[in-house]
Structure 1
Amino acid sequence: MEMLSEQGKIRLALARGEDAVMDPMKSIISLIPDVKPWLAMKALHAAMRDQTHGAEYLSPEDRSLIWRQDYGRKTSPIGGRILVNLFRDGMIPQNRPASQDISALIAYSDGVEDFRVKLRQSIAEYQLHEKQSA
């Protein structure tokens, strides 16, 4: 088995840390009332791909926190911000009659700093575990 370089170990810790603190995409999209989840996911994916609705201002590290698909689709408050922008720009269609109350999604997307703290803790815990098991 090939040994990982120090850079590879950092990338693995980051990926495991991100996955540990990110939220299931479906539960975050459900914060948008009267929406079809697959249409919201499609809009978020397009915003990532095309670098629109705020994604164009993100660092490469933050872009990786918009959407993750390992054992299930996951997102973070950073992805929540993009969803808020997409909703406000009318890019996420809703079923009729539709409520415009996205206060729960806004509250979630405002948690970016708490998310970053949890992410750093998760990465540090993973790295500590790796050192102890080596």
Structure 2
Amino acid sequence: MTDRVVVAGAVYDRGRLLAARRSAPPELAGGWELPGGKVEPGESGEQALVRELREELGVETEPLERIPGEWPLSRGYVLHVWTVRLISGVPEPLEDHDELRWLGPGEIDTVDWLELDRPAVAEAVRRRPGGDRPS
């Protein structure tokens, strides 16, 4: 059986990474993640990511590069992560999240990331554009 893909965006703005706190489902509520969601039949990962970020955050984005690797989530799901450029809009927690935070250099560990997302977040942080320049 093939794992179902969940996509997430490492959304960057001025060297800061966007983190989203889950409000649902109950077993994930309160944990932080890179925003995204499930790829639907007939969608590419990039298409799903653009759709999910529009639905969840109300923004238009451009996937730039898929971060190499995939990370196992719950049974039957794997996580693929892309670096993402914000094209328009101001992110708001519209669906499945109740808070957003922009995390600058040195702030990544100030939120409680979902355990299964931590390896993907670490890889996304390594690829943060702009190095450690101030935001």
Structure number with larger C-alpha Rg: 1
User: TM exceeds 0.5?
Assistant: no
Tell me which protein shows more strand as a share of its residues: 2
TM-score by length of 1: 0.28
Tell me which protein shows more helix as a share of its residues: 1
